[in-house]
């Protein structure tokens, strides 16, 4: 009885602790909503904690038009879908070759691929910009798709290598005995088995690409090519900068797609995290 009472008391403490952490995490979100909902002409450059009017949708419209978010939405969606998709396929192929096909010097190849994550982007930004300018990839959608894919591949290869390590070797041997080619085995057996891990990688990389500011700001210029985050920074420019409620509303608006993506694919994401062992 005492043990049961002690256990229930511990559970209540854990629940209270998690509730406090949740409230602390939601406090900035609440503050963002309240200040983004305030009318522009009523804003006095001070953050408020209590709602004072509701002009959120009007601020959404102002942010959408002033930052020209509609012009960048198509390009950003392209980058956030195509690049992570290519990255998960390439990463799965790398993991398949290293673990399943037992590629010679496989671990060295893995270190070479994953080594791309060692150096921060700021270190390679200047040579990357110079190379893009020399090859004509600067300010092109193709160039941004390439760079977003390249920086997403190492993480995808890392997760897929871990995932394929957990699959019994007998699966591959049985498929070979049945006459399956290496490509068909990869396409028909290993990719379907790794569906949840692939989905988790795709969600993470799509979120990263959508929220990217540095690469989009450096490698693009025109509104039809520039991602949505660099376009959003135009609201805070020195010349013609928008009021803070409009800026906050714009930030809230562009974050909604990633929130919806996580909520819609939460089950796949959680399962992929556990299966991918990362």
Report pLDDT digits (tens) over 158-192: 889 888 888 888 888 898 888 888 899 999 999 99
Phi/psi for 118 (5° steps) reads -70, -45
- Rounded to the nearest 10 degrees, the angle between the axes of helix 195-211 and helix 244-264 is 170
Q: Which residue has the higher pLDDT, 255 or 8?
A: 255
- Reported as a single tens digit per residue, the pLDDT across 61-114 is 888 887 778 778 889 999 999 999 999 999 999 999 999 888 888 888 888 888
Contacts of 267 (CB under 8 A, 6+ apart): none
Quote the radius of gyration of the chain (alpha carbons, Å).
23
Neighbours of 103 (CB within 10 A): 15
| Dihedral class, residue 181 (left if φ above 0, else alpha if ψ from -120 to 50, else beta) | beta
Q: Which 3-state string (H, E, C) describes 56-97?
A: HHHHHHHHHHHCCHHHHHHHHHHHHHHHHHHHHHHHHHHHHH
- Scanning 178-243, the segments in alpha helix (DSSP H) are 182-185, 191-193, 195-211, 214-219, 228-233
CB atoms within 10 A of CB 119: 9
> 269 pLDDT band (50/70/90 cuts)?
low
| More confident: 183 or 54 | 183
User: Would you state the pLDDT for residue 278?
Assistant: 44
Mean of the per-residue pLDDT values of the chain = 83
pLDDT at 49: 72
Q: How far apart are CA 17 and CA 22, in angstroms?
A: 9
* Residues 64 and 236 sit within 8 Å (Cβ to Cβ): no
Is the confidence at residue 195, as pLDDT, over 90? no
Q: What is the pLDDT of residues 99-134, one digit of tens each?
A: 988 888 888 888 888 887 788 888 888 899 999 989
Q: Is the pLDDT reported for residue 147 higher than 90? A: yes
Please give the pLDDT value at position 4.
Answer: 62
The runs of H, that is alpha helices, within the chain are 2-36, 56-66, 69-95, 106-114, 121-135, 141-165, 169-177, 182-185, 191-193, 195-211, 214-219, 228-233, 244-264, 266-276
Q: What is the pLDDT of residue 86?
A: 95
- The encoded tokens of residue 152 equal 């997403």
Residue 237: band (very low, low, confident or very high) from pLDDT cuts 50, 70, 90: low
Residue 242 has pLDDT above 60, yes or no: yes
What per-residue confidence (pLDDT) applies to 272?
58
Q: What is the pLDDT of residue 142?
A: 93
pLDDT confidence bin for 247, thresholds 50/70/90: confident
The residue with tokens 């591959």 is 172
Give the per-residue pLDDT at 73.
87
Direct distance between the N- and C-terminal alpha carbons of the chain, in angstroms, rounded to an integer: 40
For the chain, how many residues are written? Answer: 278
Please tell me the predicted confidence (pLDDT) of residue 141: 93
Domain ranges of the chain: 1-27, 61-276
Q: Which two tokens stand for residue 11?
A: 């559970």
Does the domain spanning 61-276 belong to CATH 3.40.50.300? no
Rounded CA-CA distance 217/139 in Å is: 10
Query: Which is higher by pLDDT, 272 or 59?
Result: 59
Candidate from 50-54, 75-79, 88-92, 209-213 with smallest mean pLDDT: 50-54
């Amino acid at each position: 009885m005492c043990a049961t009472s002690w256990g229930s008391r511990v559970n209540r403490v854990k629940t209270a602790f998690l509730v406090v952490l949740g409230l602390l995490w939601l406090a900035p979100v609440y503050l963002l909503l309240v200040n983004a909902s305030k009318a522009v002409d009523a804003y006095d450059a001070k953050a408020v904690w209590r709602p004072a009017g509701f002009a959120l949708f009007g601020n959404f419209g102002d942010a959408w038009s002033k930052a020209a978010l509609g012009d960048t939405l198509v390009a950003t969606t392209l980058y956030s879908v195509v690049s992570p998709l290519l990255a998960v396929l390439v990463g799965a192929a790398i993991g398949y070759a290293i673990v399943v096909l037992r590629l010679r010097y496989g671990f060295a190849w893995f270190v070479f691929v994953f080594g791309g994550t060692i150096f921060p982007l700021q270190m390679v930004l200047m040579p990357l910009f110079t190379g893009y300018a020399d090859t004509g990839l600067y300010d092109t959608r193709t160039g941004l798709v390439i760079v977003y894919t390249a920086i997403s591949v190492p993480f995808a290869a890392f997760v897929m290598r871990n995932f394929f390590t957990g699959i019994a070797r007998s699966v591959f041997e049985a498929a070979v005995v049945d006459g399956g080619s290496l490509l068909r085995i990869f396409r028909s057996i290993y990719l379907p088995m790794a569906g949840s891990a692939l989905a988790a990688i795709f969600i993470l990389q799509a979120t990263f690409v959508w929220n990217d500011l540095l690469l989009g700001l450096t490698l693009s210029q025109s509104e039809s090519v520039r991602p949505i985050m660099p376009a959003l920074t135009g609201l805070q420019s020195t010349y013609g900068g928008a009021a803070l409620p409009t800026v906050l509303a714009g930030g809230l608006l562009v974050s909604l797609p990633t929130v919806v993506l996580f909520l819609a694919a939460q089950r796949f994401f959680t399962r992929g995290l556990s299966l991918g062992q990362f």
